[in-house]
Every structure is written in C-alpha cells, then in structure tokens.
Amino acid sequence: MPEPADRLFVHCKELVSLTDGAPTGLRRKAAMARLGVIEDGAVAVRDGRIAAVGTTAELLERFDCPDRVDLSDFVVMPGFVDCHTHPVFAATRENEFHMRCAGADYMEIAQAGGGILSSVRAVREATPEHLRWMTRKHYDRFLELGTTTIEAKSGYGLTTESEVASLEALGTVAADHPLQITRTFLGAHEVPPEYRDKRDAYVELVIDEMMPAVDDLCEACDVFAEPKVFDRNQSERILRAALERGKRLRIHADEIEPMGGTELAVSLGADSADHLPRISLAGQEVLADSDTTGVLLPGTSFYLGKTAHAPARAMIDRGCAVAIATDFNPGSCYTQSMPLIITLSCVLLHMTVEECIVAATINPAASLNLDEEVGSLHVGKRADLAVLDLPSHQALGYAFGGNPVVMTVKNGEPVVTNVSDRSY
C-alpha cells in the first residue's frame, strides 16, 4: 500500500544527502569526505520534514503523491547552515573598502570615522523600523543564496538599549520569515568610545546590565577575544557570566594575535572558536580533543587582503571538527554567499569540496545544537534544500562569481526561485 506524502522532489541529478554518516554530531577526518550522493535522487516530504530519501524510482513506487517537483539537471543538497553572521546593522561601509584597497591601514580608516565604531554610530541612530527593514533584506538574500539557517549576532550597538533593539529586530523579522535563526549576544564586540579609558567598567556593564536585559532575546553569548579588544581575563569574565545565565558560548578567537582564545573556548566548553588564522599548535591539539567546532572564515582574511589564513588542512588532519561560514558584516566581509566561501575554502584553506560541503551543512548545524533538525537529509529532519544549477557537486568551489542556487526549499516549501545563472 503506497504511503502518503505532501510533496516529492524527484529526478535530482545528484542528491547530496549526507546520510552515509550519523544523523547528528560533528564529522571529522575521513567522515568529512562522505556525502551519500544518490544519482537520480528523490526526497519525500511530510509535514515539512523528510519522510524518505532514495532514488526516484524507489520513492515513486513507495509514495502516492501527485505534488511532484521535477529537479532534473540540478544538484540538490541540504540548505546551507551559516554559523557566523552579523546581519543586523544600519548602514554599509563601502568607502572603507576602497580606502583599504588604496592602502589605508586600520588606524587611518578609524581616524576618518570608519571601522566598527562607524557601524555603532549608525545603529545607535537608527529607528527600530530601519533596523527591521535592513535585517529583512539580509534574511531574504541568505535564502536567495541557498542558506536556510543562520546564527545571527548583535554587536553594533554597544549600549544596553541598542543591543536589545538589535536582538529584537533579529527575532521580530524571523517570526514571519522562512529563514531559521539562532541569536547570539555580542555586546563584547568592541569597547565603545565612551569607555576607551575604562575598559573594565565596560566589561562590568556587559555583565551586570546588558546580559540581564537580553536574557530572553538570545541563545548564546560571544566575545571578541583579542589582546587589544577584550584580553583573556576580560573575555573569560564575560563568558563565565554568560554560562551562569545558561547561555551557550561562541568566541572570536586567535584572529589577529595568538592569545590562546581557542584554548579558552575549549576550557569553557564553548560551541565554537571562530576565525583562527593565528591558532597555535597547542590550540589545534586541544580543539581536536574537544567538542568545540573550529569555525573558519576565509572570506574575512581574503576581503581584508591578509596573507594569513586558518590552517584548515592541518586542523582537519589532526582531527579538529571544522565548519566554514561567511562572517557576513558591513566592514570586513560583505558577502552572504556560502558558494563563494566554498571557493575560498578550497583555494585558500586547501579543503576538498567534500570537506567544504560537510563544513557548510552538518558541522555548523552541530555547532549550533541544531543537528537534530537541519544539516543533512536524514529522515525526520526539516526538509531544507538548496537546488543548484551545477553539473555535479564537485562544481561547488570550481564555479564562482555567480549564484548557482535556482531554488531554496524551507520545511518542504519552495521559498525562493531564482533565474538560472549558469557559470560553467
């Protein structure tokens, strides 16, 4: 007797299911090379979740479903999971990009009124309506590029009022938007001008005033752990206070100077240590022996013209669990394209395309504690799909500069249909 289904996605040229590995948990080493590719694949959807995956012939025989979406000629994979983004800001900073390209350094840009504090001024001056409008635009673009789940940080307000407003904007827009989000409080993104000469007082403000105010507005807490931003002691104080409030932890670590940020992340049981161009050998070793994910952001080092990149090849070979993310933000990486990040991960980080796909789906889902819901096409998970106009999954990374996503599916519903943009 045929089973009922709400919708069948059939005749996928390649269905990258990731079902030849465990449905949950971080994948490491050789497990990052297994994609579970099914030729002429199909996905059955019931109540927004995956009822079955297999060949088209198998599922057409098993399910009685007149609603069939023919995906012939397309590669289909889980929707991308972007686990490091800064999507709530009030203005772009393209002038700084051109100053940097012309040779200006960080201090020259800051003296001209730029840098993170430029975004801070804009957010503080923005109305709630403007923040929501900008955030919705950014959410829409993630979906257009095949991303169905993101981690979204605050951090461009740096006052209690503006951090609350930022996290509220993220949540309010998400309430009626298909994109799935998890919110992270990043009040410790930078020290605002009014606290430059009293940094410890700002740390106390973050802990004593901001954290209680945002308690119901976020799931996690992050800190920019760098010697000239929040040193190790200040970072640990903030993160331990967040732990005491029941928050999960994420850390900007070892990006500019080696400070043992990775080791701090592991010692506190953080979900992730992010950036990591300056991770030490000791940091790699403790990361490999932990459940903390190394989130690598090659778009940022590329965009800033840096020559130092995270040592992904050594990290993966050592057994670290690795994810990749866009670091979408107005200053140091203005892209929401996971396909582009996969290209940069292949070229700059020397990752294989298989490793990149795992690092853009199931591993970031696990780092966000969402791997029971998204990140692979195992039965019972949300039916989140990215449909790519590519000759094979190996063309991810190879084809760059356009958007290969022709359809994005969230909870079994096509939410974006793009015009094909063939780039091969």
In the chain, where the domains are located = 3-78+375-417, 80-367
Across 52-80, average pLDDT = 97
Cβ within 8 Å of residue 15, ≥6 positions away? 37, 38, 39, 41, 42, 43, 53, 76, 77, 377
φ/ψ of 145, rounded to 5, equals -100, 15
Q: Measure Cα distances from 316 to 11, 262, 294 in Å.
A: 34, 15, 10
| Whole-angstrom Cα Rg for the chain | 21
As assigned by CATH, the class of the 80-367 domain is: alpha beta
**What confidence tens digit (pLDDT) does each residue in 365-392 have?**
999 999 999 999 999 999 999 999 999 9
> What's the pLDDT at 381?
98
Residue 419 pLDDT: 63
Confidence class of residue 424 from pLDDT cuts 50, 70 and 90? very low
> Phi and psi at residue 354, in whole multiples of 5°?
-65, -45
- pLDDT higher than threshold 50 for residue 59: yes
So what CATH class is 3-78+375-417?
mainly beta
Q: Which residues contact 361 (CB under 8 A, 6 or more apart)?
A: 18, 77, 78, 79, 80, 81, 375, 376
| pTM, 2 dp | 0.97
Where would I find the beta strands (DSSP E) of 96-195? Answer: 147-153, 180-188
